[in-house]
Each structure stands twice: as structure tokens, then as C-alpha cells.
Amino acid sequence: MFTLYDMTVRPIVIYGTPVLHQPTAIVTEPIDTLRELIDDMFETMEKAHGVGLAANQIGVGKRIFVYNCPDDEGVIHRGCFINPVLETSDIPEGMPAVDGSDDEGCLSLPGLSFPTGRATWAKVTGLNENGEEVSEEGTGFLARCFQHEVGHLDGFVYADVLQGRWKRAGKKAIKREGWTPDAGLTWMPGVDPDPFGHDDV
């Protein structure tokens, strides 16, 4: 028997908040006890106009992420991974492209984006919201999304993998915004102004 929940938009925690910088816990509890959390994650991601959301971005230190992400052909891929395992092709060692193709943003670094080097192919394996074993692979933007979200669950944000002048620029921007561990900052999708300028629809 499934319980129906009213989906709730939850505040998104901002860089510096300790839960974003610690590895999340492997899920061991029954999957059906996570249904409300997962529904809320989908609702929050949609309201924030995001393509992915990890549980620790709403303050829950569990190894879960949801996504609603287009691939490079514009096909939308939507799903949930519990206890995901990531495989990738080689991550480029040089500086990322500056033509916009490598730009990456994050709902937990609202309003910022920087060129970020990522592998061109990624595959995620884990459980879905029904407890079924699933896997999905992708290239380009979808591969970037998978690497970004699993990175969150490992306790990293994309600012941690910036290189060269982009790393320096990221550190300056974070300091300017006052995103420190003791600040405890959040923003509320659908209530606060959208930090990336999306129109609320």
C-alpha cells in the first residue's frame, strides 16, 4: 500500500553549509520510506528549474539524486538513483573550453557558473524509487549532470574541481557572497527570485 503525499518544495542549502561538504550516507532503510523525500526532491528541482538535485542539497545526507535532464539531442531523461555508482570515460586534464560549452552551474551556488572539465561519457547504476536495479548512460550534457550529482553525494560541489583562473574566480565569488560554514544560508525556489534568471512558469 502506498501513501500519497502532498509534494513540498524544500529550501536549497547554499555552498559552505556542512552537509554539502561531507559524503552522504548509503541508504539502508526500506525504499518505500523514502517516497516522500524523493517526491519532494522532484518538486523542488522542478520549481528551481534545475536538471538535477542531490538529497544533501536540501539538507538530507542520504545517497540519492533525482534528474530531469536533456541530452545533447534534446531528449529528456528523468529518474531517481539511490546509492548510485558512477563510471566515466577519462576526465580531461587541460583547461575547459571558454566558448560556453563547458559552463556549469549549481543550485547550491546560486547565480554562478564557471567552465568545468568533465568526462564526455558517464554511466550510473543503482536503485530507482521503486527499489529496482537500474542503470543509465549518457554523453555530453547528460554525462555532465550525472558527474555533478554524484559529486554532490561524495561531498563535493563543482567549485571544488575548477582549474586555474576559474578556481581563483570561484573562490573570490564565494568569499564575496559570504558563503561560509556558519552562515547556514538557503534559498527557496518559487519564493526567492530565481538566481539564474529563469521565468517562473
Annotation-wise, does 69 bind a ligand? Answer: no
CA dist., res. 200 & res. 81, Å (int):
27
Q: What is the identity of the amino acid at 96?
A: P
CA dist., res. 8 & res. 45, Å (int):
11
Q: Are 187 and 195 within 8 A, CB to CB?
A: yes
Q: Is 87 a catalytic residue?
A: no
Active-site residue among 43, 104, 129, 149?
A: 149
Q: Are 78 and 136 within 8 A, CB to CB?
A: no
Cell digits for 197? 534568471
Annotation-wise, does 152 bind a ligand? Answer: yes
Residues 6+ apart with CB under 8 A from 61: 19, 22, 24, 25, 55
CA dist., res. 72 & res. 90, Å (int):
19
Torsion, Cα 22 23 27 33, to 10 degrees, reads: 30
Cell digits for 159? 567549485
Annotation-wise, does 198 bind a ligand? Answer: no
- Report the DSSP beta bridge partners of residue 136: 124
Which residues line the annotated binding site? 106, 148, 152
Catalytic annotation, residues:
149
Residues forming the annotated binding site for Fe cation? 106, 148, 152
